[in-house]
Amino acid sequence: MPSNRVTVFGAYGHTGRFVVAELCKRGGTPILAGRDAAQLRAMRTAYPELETRVANVEQPHLLDAAISGSVAVINCAGPFGDTVIPVVEAALRSGVHYLDLAAEQLAVLTLFERFAERAHKAGVTVVPAMAFYGGLGDLMATAIMADWEDADEIAIAVALDSWKPTRGTRLTGARNRGPRFIFSNNTLERADPPQGRKWNFPKPFGELDVVPLALAETITMSRHLRTREIRMFLNEAPLADLHHPDSTTAQRRRTPAGVHLNAS
């Protein structure tokens, strides 16, 4: 790479802090970016050697300045329905590669439909939904299918011991109500998902009831894997945490005992 500098937009957020720490661990040089100057200054106490740049999605010139000199920008700032378009636009203007952590289906679909051709022409790599919900299931499905031409169905089930939602998670959920996109009969459409099923996870979970939860994997897999049906499931315990108004927002813990995929 011409540079090991990577701008992390939303660096002081819950997930952004993990991304910054991992980049440092891997020998990268994160540039800490976001709209809140006070939070950026506070983050410098843990990373005094790193540069901070104030930027927001309402001012394109600040976004351009935030990613200047970087090889890539990682967008960790949700709701992604607000940030995907302006940050990708800035990446294309600057010729900087783009990644995000979106689980929001509409944001990911918008990115594909609006930017795929432009990014290809500009030689800029744009990778949406590169996180637990999105990237992991897609990578597993792609690896398992290997050289298969197609599959009748791809089904992914995730078991978590708990899910302590952050404020950003709750805000995103409140703004993305209504039917989700499902992929059925070779068609991506907004519709109610089919019923849940039982899934036999490894210990310590064992057999659990899982319910449909279509997130970004449905969008990304439907763009490049040939299958008639895509089904996503989650066990009920973390959903109870997510829907409970008193569940803590101070820390979110994800401990997947198994992410299983069946492609036949």
Sign of torsion over alpha carbons 14, 68, 30, 19: positive
Please check whether the two domains, 5-127 and 132-263, share a CATH topology: no
Question: What span, in angstroms and rounded, lies between the C-alpha atoms of 162 and 149?
Answer: 37
Write out the two tokens for 25.
Answer: 């661990």
Quick count: other Cβ atoms within 10 Å of Cβ 104?
26
pLDDT of residue 198: 95
pTM metric for this prediction: 0.90
In CATH terms, 5-127 corresponds, of 3.40.50.720, 3.40.50.2300, 3.40.50.10490, 3.30.420.40, to 3.40.50.720
pLDDT 10s digits, 236-249: 988 888 777 665 54
Q: By the 8 A CB rule, do 191 and 218 touch? A: no
What per-residue string of b and e applies to 190-207 under the rule 16 or more CB within 10 Å gives b? eeebeebeebebeeebee
| Cβ-proximal residues to 60 (8 Å cutoff; 6+ apart), any chain | 86, 89, 90, 93
pLDDT of residue 3: 77
Mean pLDDT, the chain, whole residue set = 90
Domains in the chain: boundaries: 5-127, 132-263
102 against 263, higher pLDDT = 102
pLDDT 10s digits, 46-84: 999 999 999 999 999 999 999 999 999 999 998 999 999
pLDDT 10s digits, 170-201: 777 777 777 899 999 999 999 988 899 999 99
Domain 132-263 has CATH 3.30.360.10: yes
In 26-79, which residue ranges form alpha helices assigned H by DSSP? 37-43, 60-67
